[in-house]
Amino acid sequence: MRQALFDVLCETKEKTVLSVRNPVDEAPEDPQLMRLDNMLVAEGVAGPDKGGSLGSDASGGDQADYRQKLHQIRVVYNEELRKYEEACNEFTQHVRSLLKDQSQLRPIAQKEIERMVYIIQRKFSGIQVQLKQSTCEAVMILRSRFLDARRKRRNFSKQATEVLNEYFYGHLSNPYPSEEAKEDLARQCNITVSQVSNWFGNKRIRYKKNMAKAQEEASLYAAKKNAHVALGGMAGNPYGMLPGAAAAAGLLNPYGPMNIPGQDALHMGMPPFDLSVYNPQLMAAAQYQQQMDNTDAKP
């Protein structure tokens, strides 16, 4: 009975079946997938790890950061691609087994099984395209973050800008640093020599265009430099030219040693001059010296 039913189904199929073409010859490989694969290989995401590079004009820190983030994209892509291939193989294998079991009850040719598998793989290829396209977009975003022309002109750190400005205004008569000076500034600012050259070129142009603001900025840096020098000179002697607190005490009454006639009458009724408002440290030192003198004067 089973064989008779199978023969009837075979006869019916021969009368009504459409021509089954070889699925391999139906369509060439998807050109979009080919472009995506070529791009992923060129960027070092697919294939052997090439250790992607930004180019010779990028700094060492940018290179390391770019490689790290590219490696993360590569790991995620390979993991998702592995899951995709496992799911596709598992599903197609299940369909093959199911069709082979059904071929015992109804006539199913091997070409028909291969065609069904091909259709399933084409459906899965849409997922593959989305995966590779999203990965390519992630790589392009990463590269644009480091290589975009606007990113090349990003601001330096505050410390680097301070160092460059101090050199510029310190050599305002000739703001053209030598190659040795550029290398030294590049090391201090953790940037490249070409970036130092570009900064000085742009700074000279901005200085000429906005002379008033530049002069104000130059005065500010000159004042900072003078203050730094003054603080360095007073580190050993906080009262400048005065040798000690005794000299400081003398400042409280500069006319003390002088016997000027009418001095008391001149200052009669006037409040004493409060120097502590201007220099509290000087006042404290004078008071301390006076206490020491009073202690020594006691028997």
Question: Per the domain annotation, does 94 fall within a domain?
Answer: yes
Q: What percent of the chain has pLDDT over 90?
A: 19
Task: Identify the pLDDT of residue 208.
Answer: 84
pLDDT in tens, 149-162: 445 556 788 899 99
- Tell me, what DSSP letter sits at residue 275? G
Rounded to whole angstroms, the Cα distance separating 16 from 224 reads 96
Question: Per the domain annotation, does 259 fall within a domain?
Answer: no
Shared domain for 225 and 283, answered yes or no, is no
Task: Identify the pLDDT of residue 176.
Answer: 92
| pLDDT beyond 80 at 13 | no
Shared domain for 209 and 113, answered yes or no, is no
Rounded to whole angstroms, the Cα distance separating 91 from 127 reads 14
Radius of gyration of the chain (CA): 43
Pick the more confident residue, 112 or 232. 112
- Long-range contacts of 73-81, Cβ-Cβ distance < 8 Å, separation of 24 or more: 73/45, 73/135, 73/138, 73/139, 73/142, 74/44, 74/45, 74/49, 76/135, 77/40, 77/45, 77/46, 77/131, 77/132, 77/135, 80/131, 81/128, 81/131
The last residue of one of the domains, among 125, 152, 179, is: 152
Task: Identify the pLDDT of residue 142.
Answer: 86
- Tell me, what DSSP letter sits at residue 272? P
Task: Identify the pLDDT of residue 77.
Answer: 93
Mean pLDDT of the chain: 73
Shared domain for 121 and 169, answered yes or no, is no
| pLDDT beyond 80 at 169 | yes
Torsion angle, CA of 185/190/192/198, rounded to 10 degrees?
-60
Q: What percent of the chain has pLDDT over 70?
A: 59
| pLDDT beyond 80 at 36 | yes
Shared domain for 106 and 13, answered yes or no, is yes
Question: Per the domain annotation, does 262 fall within a domain?
Answer: no
Task: Identify the pLDDT of residue 213.
Answer: 73
The last residue of one of the domains, among 152, 183, 204, is: 152
Rounded to whole angstroms, the Cα distance separating 117 from 94 reads 10
Global confidence as pTM: 0.43
- Tell me, what DSSP letter sits at residue 57? T
The last residue of one of the domains, among 97, 131, 152, is: 152
Question: Per the domain annotation, does 264 fall within a domain?
Answer: no
Q: How many domains does the chain have?
A: 3
Rounded to whole angstroms, the Cα distance separating 200 from 206 reads 10
137, 159 Cβ separation under 8 angstroms: no
Structural domain boundaries, residue 172: 158-234
Task: Identify the pLDDT of residue 199.
Answer: 92
Shared domain for 186 and 210, answered yes or no, is yes
125, 91 Cβ separation under 8 angstroms: no
Helix H or strand E encompassing 259: none
Helix H or strand E encompassing 241: none
Shared domain for 78 and 202, answered yes or no, is no
Pick the more confident residue, 212 or 37. 37
Task: Identify the pLDDT of residue 186.
Answer: 92
Task: Identify the pLDDT of residue 255.
Answer: 43
| pLDDT tier for residue 185 given thresholds of 50, 70 and 90 | very high
Pick the more confident residue, 24 or 109. 109
Shared domain for 146 and 212, answered yes or no, is no
Question: Per the domain annotation, does 45 fall within a domain?
Answer: yes
Question: Per the domain annotation, does 199 fall within a domain?
Answer: yes
Shared domain for 14 and 145, answered yes or no, is yes
Question: Per the domain annotation, does 261 fall within a domain?
Answer: no
Shared domain for 208 and 80, answered yes or no, is no
Question: Per the domain annotation, does 260 fall within a domain?
Answer: no
Shared domain for 249 and 228, answered yes or no, is no
Shared domain for 166 and 201, answered yes or no, is yes
Task: Identify the pLDDT of residue 230.
Answer: 62
Amino acid at 224: K
pLDDT in tens, 53-82: 555 445 556 677 888 888 999 999 999 999
The first and second tokens of residue 57, run together, are 């004009």
CATH number of the domain residue 229 falls in:
1.10.10.60
Task: Identify the pLDDT of residue 275.
Answer: 46
Pick the more confident residue, 280 or 223. 223
The first and second tokens of residue 48, run together, are 């052997």
State mean pLDDT over 270-277.
Answer: 48
In sequence order, what E strands does the chain have?
none
Shared domain for 15 and 134, answered yes or no, is yes
